[in-house]
Structure 1
Amino acid sequence: MKSTILFLLLLAMSILPTAAQTTGTPLLQVAEFGKHQPIGVAVSQQGRIFVTFPKKDKNYDYAVAEIVNGQRRPYPNAEWNQWDSLQARTRFVSVQTVFVDQEDNLWVLDPSNPGDEAPLIAGIKLLKINLKTNQVERVYRFEDIPRERSGLNDVRIDTRRQVAYLSDPKLAAIVVLDLKTGKSRLVLQGHKSTMAEPGYVLRIDGKEVKDKTGKPFSSNVNGIALTHDFEYFYYRAINQTKLYRIKTEYLRDASLNTQQVAQHVETVGETGISHGMIADAAGNVYLTDSPNHAVRRVTPAGHLETVTQDPRLHWPDTFAIGPDGYLYLTAAQINLTPKWNNGEDKVQYPFRLYKMKIGK
């Protein structure tokens, strides 16, 4: 079965259209944000839209915003969004992403690393917010992992077993968090499936993504997805082309060492470069594709399909699926920012949030 899936993925890659075309499902604009760079997006069961804006430079005001009539409103309130390094425990420092679980709670992940610098340890946190009351119900601090070296990136929630799964590119590991006890631990740290491929340089629109010193962009395990039944966890690094998955029972089993867990890692196949991903209720796994300005999906049968290609999709980053049958996504344009263009700002403003129809 594994070899069949791999064959189908390789076959699909060989017939993908080029990035110059605009094909597939129409891409609709939801909101625009001026010079405020969006990364994470989440949509509640009631259709409420939330977007994150990590602290990078002077173009910053809110870490988390609810989008109401196309406008940003600080969420859950203005106080949480008042940046203050001396109050990092109770203020947002640099929020990376948000996620709505199957019980309609909003989870806010703050790796507390403004400008991608070393993290403010006190500010590293995961918040659970009750969307009915708009109140923070619990804060997790990750005191069991080496926080001074961490860089938490994405999160998925198993509401049935009360477990959170997170990616940490800086530690090249998956973080498993027990939501009942608050205890966290690293899994598959340094395994080939969580590591960037050595020497692999991203190339987008014919240009290598490097900083002014010539250092290439590189990220270990980054995008993650959890199937609707919570049984499979999909993950991958940005700087490699393979998609992996593992049954969640092996991630949850704290009695297994790295080698024992690694025996259960499955290679889904070659999918090209991807940053973010999400699984829908039908078992499809959607992946972003920056080099081709596209959105792909791997079907339950293992087929790799192009959902849409659009020249506006500069570094599509994060997905959310709404109750309206739309797939929402941010276009972060990371490769066009000054850091990766020798100080020149090539971003095509304004930053935008998009959506496309994928279901009924």
Structure 2
Amino acid sequence: MAFVSYHQYLTDASPEAILESILAKALAQEDLTPEEGCFLLTCRDDSAWLAIQQAADQLRANLVGETVTYVVNRNLNFTNICEQHCSFCAFRRDAEDSGAFWLTPAQILAKVEDAITQGATEICMQGGLNPAAQLQGSALAFYEDLISTIKSAFPALHLHAFSPQEIQFIARQDGLDFETVLQTLQTAGVDSLPGTAAEVLVDSVRHIICPEKIDSQTWLTIVHLAHRLGLPTTSTMLCGHIETPAQQIQHLEHLRALQQRAIAEQLPARITEFILLPFVGELAPKPLRHRVGRDQPSLSATLHLTAVARLYLGKWIVNHQPSWVKLGLAGATEALRWGCNDLGGTLMEEHITSMAGAKGGTALTVTQLQGACQALGRPYRQRTTLYH
């Protein structure tokens, strides 16, 4: 580990002493440097991992307490027809392909109504980049009508909808600027944005795994603009494929700086949570699957990164959530010991990850989520999308 040698050269300290110093700094809620983050990610022995796990768990307790939160929501993927060809995606289809779908407004409303009868307070809505949306007159008109239809029928429902990639797609289709798109959707009823399509915010990685997607700076620009307009967002990282520890830290650095900027500028909205999304390759396109060399996530590597993300993001992004769809409920429950404080939502249905071969299922009940918390002896509480 070249970085360990470099630190030893500068400080004449042992790796154990360096680790102790970094963890003490994180627990004091001081910002770690990228070099310190990389050091934590390149620790490989069991004793170091245990120390990192314990520090992340302690920082979680210091920042947000012992209560584990969850939201009752429905995931609604309204189309899998998509113009892009991301190398990790088994969800997308061309319009003429078998299995392609594009839900009608009536089908969407029926799913929303069913979710509300099950106690949902949130609809999380995302879909493929379907060029046919523009045939409605304009792409923005299609998305605006979709949101307005749901919101007029269910005004109290929180609509968590459209990633930065979808915002860019609408703007490009109609020749509009990002602010116009965001303001129009916000007026129609969008309450917050999923911070998906981030993958890894390093363009050299994006050029391989998602070359047609927006670049890192565009993602950051759209999220910052959403915060300025009063639209909260989440944040994510797609991990466990070709990215290096240094690139993982670069991604976390972008998110931390983005949140710090929102706070410094006193913007009306912020990043509400961080979600780690480990790569599932069982049914993903072959080139990336073969390059990664495994079909399911490594739980140990995911937990290690979960803990480091908690320590690196520190006091700036305090809510951390694992993906039970990708890790299974048992894996997600274990992540609650590695820095996470939230179990996400019930989802009720999930297509994007399950179509890639994930084993965690597509829906969980409130009883199952509560049982996971009870198994750890932790209290639980239902929350809203914005952690109220």
Fold equivalence (TM over 0.5): no
Point out the structure with max Rg over C-alpha: 2
**Higher RCO (CA < 8 A, seq sep 6+):** 2
TM-score by length of 1: 0.36
Of Structure 1 and Structure 2, the greater helix share is in 2
Of Structure 1 and Structure 2, the greater strand share is in 1
TM-score by length of 2: 0.34
